[in-house]
Amino acid sequence: MNINFYKVKALLVSVVLLTGCATKLNYLVGWDKKWKQCDADAKKSSVQFPSSKWFESLKIEEQKAVFIYLHNLKQYECTELETVSLKKVLDEAEIATLESILQGFIYFQPPSNEFVKSLDKVELEKLSKEVVMFDLIKVAEELIFKGG
């Protein structure tokens, strides 16, 4: 076999590898665009937090925990399709470093229920279905969390 055969073979292997990397990069770019869009949409939102007797009956610290949990949940849900696709690609490519860097980022995984696990799960789920993405600061000010 001549040297050109090996050059062509190396070129083809490189193209295949780079194409695979580019495809994986597209998932990351798509996820990045989506979370930025979700963040911008939330900040532009004028949505009010839904009225709920259950929520209003909670202690102020429990209300804050529910409020933050639901905000993070809606942020995650906004990017969920892109996140699942990106995680699949990262797992398949065994790119653990990037995945570990993204862990904890509200758009990359569902929020922890650590601070709401003692609350009524049925009521929390019911309120979750009524909540849409909202601006955290605007709604917090409406709910008068700023002083508590």
User: Does residue 46 fall inside a structural domain?
Assistant: yes
Secondary structure letter of residue 93 according to DSSP: T
Interval 93-104: pLDDT, tens: 776 666 677 776
8 A C-beta contact, residue 90 and residue 99: yes
Number of domains in the chain: 1
User: Does residue 125 fall inside a structural domain?
Assistant: yes
User: Does residue 94 fall inside a structural domain?
Assistant: yes
Structural domain harbouring 120: 3-142
User: Does residue 123 fall inside a structural domain?
Assistant: yes
User: Does residue 148 fall inside a structural domain?
Assistant: no
Interval 90-137: pLDDT, tens: 777 776 666 677 776 767 788 999 999 999 999 999 999 999 999 999
| Residues in Cβ contact with 136 at an 8 Å cutoff, skipping those fewer than 6 apart | 42, 68, 71
How many other CB atoms sit within 10 Å of the CB of residue 49? Answer: 21
User: Does residue 147 fall inside a structural domain?
Assistant: no
28 vs 16: CA distance, rounded Å: 19
The model carries a pTM of 0.76
**pLDDT interval class at 25 (50, 70, 90):** confident
The dihedral built from the CA positions of residue 53, 57, 58 and 60, taken in this order, carries a sign that is: positive
The dihedral built from the CA positions of residue 62, 63, 64 and 65, taken in this order, carries a sign that is: positive
